[in-house]
Amino acid sequence: MIALCDGVEIGYDDVGTGMPVAFIHGFPHNRTLWAPQVSALVDRARCIAPDLRGFGESSRHGPFSIDQFADDVAMLLRLLGIERPVVVGLSMGGYVAFALWRRHREMVRALVLADTRAGVDSEETRAKRIALMEVARTRGSGAVADGQIVGMIGKSTRAKRPALIDDVHRMLGSASVEGICGALESMLGRADSIPTLPTIDVPTLVIVGAEDVLTPVSEAEILRDAIRGSRLEVIEQAGHVSNLERPAAFNHVLSEFLAALDYE
């Protein structure tokens, strides 16, 4: 489906009934990232999965920033009449979740922060992002996918489920150059979310793949230690896209978390 949010088309899925859960994808993903979660939860939850602007079926034009991504998600949720969803963000989707919390916290019932980090980029990461923009502009999204796929999937999955590498590569390679460059600029310009962590006072689940090399377990521990009452679940034998690599394990901890919210 497509919604018009302030002149920008936002592609999204809105399926299922029950507790609303908004799923925010990472870089350079699209909403299909969440297919294993949406299909597992559809009987229990209303699952809303948008394509961030620049990705999937959404408009490719800016302005691009993490705050803008968060405002787009907030506007979509309001258009759909959804109040206080559980917000699930993976990696860059986690950066967007932090921005949603800062800018629209009245809308956030609970947070699930998967394979993400709160701090800003190191100088080395900044240089890599700038180089990646050049790769996107000169060689296209296929070349970006070739570079990104390496760190995206954990070593156990690479050994046991090589077909997933092709699936994820296909998703990365389908991203538009506008979206890739817009998201890279957004991540370069993003706010430090470390000071945000102690302000989070909704139930929070932190998830990380044990083999995540992009946002390792140590980053997830920073979130767990700074967010009062939060819980950390480490998914063994999974890398950065832990929700795709070990969907049953990921869905199990997510479902448990959602079920506990029902009793609040």
Chain positions contacting ligand MLT, by CB under 6 A: 26-27, 91-92, 187, 214, 240
- Rounded to the nearest 5 degrees, what angle is found at the Cα of 32, between the Cα atoms of 31 and 36? 120
Question: Which phi-psi region, left, alpha or beta, contains residue 227 (left: φ > 0; alpha: ψ -120 to 50)?
Answer: beta
Distance, in Å, from the CA atom of 49 to the CA atom of 37, rounded to the nearest integer, reads 10
- Work out how close the CB of 27 gets to ligand MLT at its nearest, in angstroms, rounded to a whole number: 3
Closest CB to ligand MLT among 26 and 85?
26
H/E stretch holding 233? strand 231-235
- Work out how close the CB of 201 gets to ligand MLT at its nearest, in angstroms, rounded to a whole number: 25
Closest CB to ligand MLT among 120 and 202?
120
Closest CB to ligand MLT among 91 and 204?
91
- Work out how close the CB of 264 gets to ligand MLT at its nearest, in angstroms, rounded to a whole number: 30
Closest CB to ligand MLT among 80 and 111?
111
Distance, in Å, from the CA atom of 147 to the CA atom of 142, rounded to the nearest integer, reads 9
- Work out how close the CB of 192 gets to ligand MLT at its nearest, in angstroms, rounded to a whole number: 13
Closest CB to ligand MLT among 46 and 190?
190
Closest CB to ligand MLT among 19 and 197?
197
- Partner residues linked to 256 by β-bridges: none
- Tokens encoding 264: 């609040």
The phi and psi torsions of 88 (rounded to 5 degrees) equal -115, 120
Task: Name, in order, each residue with C-beta under 8 angstroms of 240's C-beta and a sequence gap of 6 or more.
Answer: 91, 115, 151, 152, 153, 154, 209, 212, 213, 214, 215
- Partner residues linked to 87 by β-bridges: 22, 111
Distance, in Å, from the CA atom of 30 to the CA atom of 59, rounded to the nearest integer, reads 13
- Work out how close the CB of 44 gets to ligand MLT at its nearest, in angstroms, rounded to a whole number: 27
- Work out how close the CB of 184 gets to ligand MLT at its nearest, in angstroms, rounded to a whole number: 8
- Work out how close the CB of 187 gets to ligand MLT at its nearest, in angstroms, rounded to a whole number: 5
Closest CB to ligand MLT among 183 and 200?
183
Task: Name, in order, each residue with C-beta under 8 angstroms of 211's C-beta and a sequence gap of 6 or more.
Answer: 154, 155, 156, 157, 237, 238, 239
